[in-house]
Amino acid sequence: MRRIMLTVAYDGSAYHGWQTEPTGVTVEEVLNRTLSALLREEIRVSGASRTDAGVHARGNLCVFDTASPIPPEKIAPALLGRLPDDIVVRESREVPDGFHPRRCDSIKTYEYTIYRDRLPDPLVRRNSWFFYRDLDVDAMREAAGLLIGEHDFQSFCAAGAQVQTTVRRITDLQLAEEGPFLKIRISGTGFLYNMVRIIAGTLVQIGLGQKKPEDIPRILAAKDRSQAGPTAPPQGLCLMKIDLYPEGFPAGLLT
């Protein structure tokens, strides 16, 4: 048996998230079915990040074990034409037995895209949040800077999360304007349920003047979901990449 790691990109519009569930088709389910047919054995992938319904990815990771003689690096190209067009395995490689990306120190990077214009564009509706009102991006950037670092993000966690602690570390949070697009790129060592989307919704409230940048410390201290902004729609969110550090974070990375 060998352990294979895949880098997976997908448009999540048609899927009920990553993880297999009885209520709808998921990315994990499609991968399991397609890999099982290709490798002629039952395959069950295990993902590094369980994206929600409608959320996209450019660089999610998953692993599985196989006895197939197909060279690991050939699995990704062999899946082209077998998977639906909205799922692409970008890389396949062998990793040590027992290796799992969830057991490594890692930095996940997400990007949330807002499309700002007078009218919506149907060509970008699947991967952005349409917003016609003016946003104060400078105020949003000021607020974003106050979220960087290690904090208790309970106020930015959706109800129902089953976690031992709501303390998380954001290593970087930047806003970039690219024509009509406003992109919120956030990196961190881990994220709570809907945390990135709640941060995006809160920053939008600040951009609208409904909250102020100096409200951020108060919202964090409250540890109360009702104090933060709304949960932004799922289609604007994309998991861009997961950087793995199997031997631990390099010195200075988290400062």
Domains in the chain, please, with CATH? 2-96 (3.30.70.580), 105-245 (3.30.70.660)
DSSP 8-class letter at 230: P
Residue type, 247: E
8 three-class SS? strand
Neighbours of 210 (CB within 10 A): 11
C-alpha dist (Å) from residue 237 to 4, 20, 186, 214: 27, 20, 11, 25
In whole angstroms, what is the distance from residue 12 CA to residue 56 CA? 5
Is 52 among the catalytic positions?
yes
Q: What is the pLDDT of residue 57?
A: 98
Q: What is the pLDDT of residue 159?
A: 81
Q: What is the pLDDT of residue 252?
A: 82
The structure tokens listed for 92 are: 């396949």
Q: What is the pLDDT of residue 101?
A: 94
Closest listed residue to residue 190, CA positions, set 102, 99, 60: 102
45 three-class SS? coil
> What is the secondary structure of 2-29 as a DSSP string?
EEEEEEEEE-GGGSS-SS-BTTB--HHH
* Burial (Cβ within 10 Å: 0-12, 13-18, ≥19) of residue 60: buried
| Ranges of residues in the chain whose predicted pLDDT is under 50 | none
Question: pTM higher than 0.85, yes or no?
Answer: yes
The structure tokens listed for 250 are: 């390099």
C-alpha dist (Å) from residue 167 to 35, 90, 170, 223, 250: 37, 32, 10, 11, 21
- Which among 11, 52, 86, 152 is annotated as catalytic? 52
- Convert the pLDDT of each residue in 5-27 to its tens digit: 999 999 999 999 999 888 889 99
Q: What is the pLDDT of residue 247?
A: 87
